[in-house]
Structure 1
Amino acid sequence: MAIPFTEYPLRPASYAATLGRTVIVVPHPDDEALGCGGLLALLRQAGLPVAAALVSDGTMSHPHSQDFPAPARRELRYAELRHALAVLGVDENREVLYLGLPDSQVPSQGPAFEAAADRLAAFLADKQADTVLVPWRRDPHPDHRATAALVAAALARLPQPPRRLEYMVWAWERAAPADLPQPGEGTGFRLDVAAVLPQKQRAIAAHRSQLAPGTIADDPSGFLLSAHMLSHFAQPFEVYIE
């Protein structure tokens, strides 16, 4: 039986300093702040380099908007990501790779997948990553699962792949029992992020288009993060699987 996340052992904030140069791989803009905002802030406080790779173009949060057609939605989401990274202390101008894969249709195989894996492997090598942060392999969103597969393919291309830590986003809300980490399937832990929780909350707030009332007003079917979903990320810890 899977152990509840809240029962994972708690590691101190100082653990972040052991991770070295870190790259976070993000399915959509906002996943970096939700899943790892505290860790990213702690890494930067420790003076460690942090870079980000954004997998999807983020355009499907409000697919029916006429005020913000797809190119405008993409640029809005990219700008929100840069803002969130800046809040967390990451140099958002130099340290972001945009893979530009289609939101809600990130491939898990095929030519586009292989080309993205090549680009990501080169990025990890260029950044001399010691650690890569990636969504939990069975996080319920299909783009998150495809992102985990993409990272696995990129790591397989490297002669000395970095350490891999998997973070939770939708597993808090939507995971079926079989989706959750099973006994013996890696080491689960909570990281104490209480000292940087206000910074993490500001980074989440940078994604204004995803938070009520939102900034895209002409698509009532568009996505907004619920208050209940956000409550998981207001806790003074983050959950990781190694």
Structure 2
Amino acid sequence: MSSETALPFSAYPIRDASFVASLGATVVIAPHPDDEALGCGGLMALFHHAAMPVAAVLVSDGSMSHPASQLFSGPARRAVREAEFRHALSILGTDAQEPLLLGLPDGRVPASAEEPSFAEAATQLREFLEQYQAATVVVPWRRDPHPDHRATSQLVQAALAGMATAPRLLEYVVWAWERAAPADLPTDADKVTGFRLDIGAVVAQKQRAIAAHRSQVTPGVFTDDPGGFLLSAEMLAHFSSPYEVFFEALPS
């Protein structure tokens, strides 16, 4: 992690866990299975402990973390990743609401209306948010340095644009901890404020949810693709902190 990335995050003000009470019915949107646990698993667990409603959306099918596997076909890899996603939600206590699974291609989540399936996915997402009566939507930071994360942000913006009343928006970081260039971080033009949410009371619960994504943290699931993706120890260390980082629009 570069000092350029660490400095602004560590300087952000801390909000107490009671902050979740201000968010109302909330929907957490994950580009891949594990992003929900990594980026905002603590937030989700705090909702459960506060007996507040929270739902989840999984954008991609998660099938490309180990594309060379012969033992697991694409649909089989998708099934494993979705099962891990549901397991993580159960650990966080946020599985009462059936998640929305958009099933978009992992690594190729569409980022604009010119791309196939973008408009349909945005409509599905908007209808889910309206049905759930979401007061708050939690989505990856708009420039989190992964193409699917940035595309997810665009998809959410398209969904919100079609709503009569847009929900409150919080943005979380995942890959910015490791890969952010200075241009990826918030600027004055973004008109957002950063803060750290105190998740100390539930950080162990978050760690269990991360571990539920076994195919991403250990080599013992997709065993025949040694070049497949695994979260490094250095990356995972960022998510053992008693704080989660979020951005929110400044008051107009």
Superposition TM-score, scaled by structure 2 size: 0.93
1:119 to 118, 124, 147: 124
1:164 is aligned to 2:172: no
Q: What secondary structure does 1:154 align onto?
A: helix
Number of aligned residue pairs: give it. 241
1:212 is aligned to 2:218: yes
Distance 2:242 2:189 in 1: 26
Provide structure 2 residue ranges, at least 5 long, that are not aligned to the other structure. none
Partner of 1:35: 39
Distance 1:23 1:216 in 2: 30
RMSD: 1.3
Between the two proteins, what is the percent identity of the paired residues? 64
Q: What secondary structure does 2:240 align onto?
A: coil
Structure 1 ranges of 4+ moved more than 3 A? none
Cα contact 1:214–1:224 (8 A) shared by 2: no
Distance 2:204 2:230 in 1: 21
1:79 is aligned to 2:83: yes
Per-residue CA deviation, residues 42-93 of structure 1 (Å, 9 max, x unaligned), is 011111111111100000000000111101100000000000000000126x
1:1-242 correspondence to structure 2 within 5 Å? 4-91=8-95, 94-109=97-112, 110-183=115-188, 185=190, 186-242=192-248
Provide structure 1 residue ranges, at least 5 long, that are not aligned to the other structure. none
Cα shift at 1:218 = 0.1
Cα shift at 1:213 = 2.9
Per-residue CA deviation, residues 94-127 of structure 1 (Å, 9 max, x unaligned), is 4200101000000112341010000000000000
Write the letter of the residue equivalent to 2:208.
Answer: R
Distance 1:95 1:130 in 2: 18
Per-residue CA deviation, residues 197-229 of structure 1 (Å, 9 max, x unaligned), is 000000000000001234111001100000000
Q: What secondary structure does 1:104 align onto?
A: coil
Per-residue CA deviation, residues 139-197 of structure 1 (Å, 9 max, x unaligned), is 00000000000000000000001100000000000011000111363010000000000
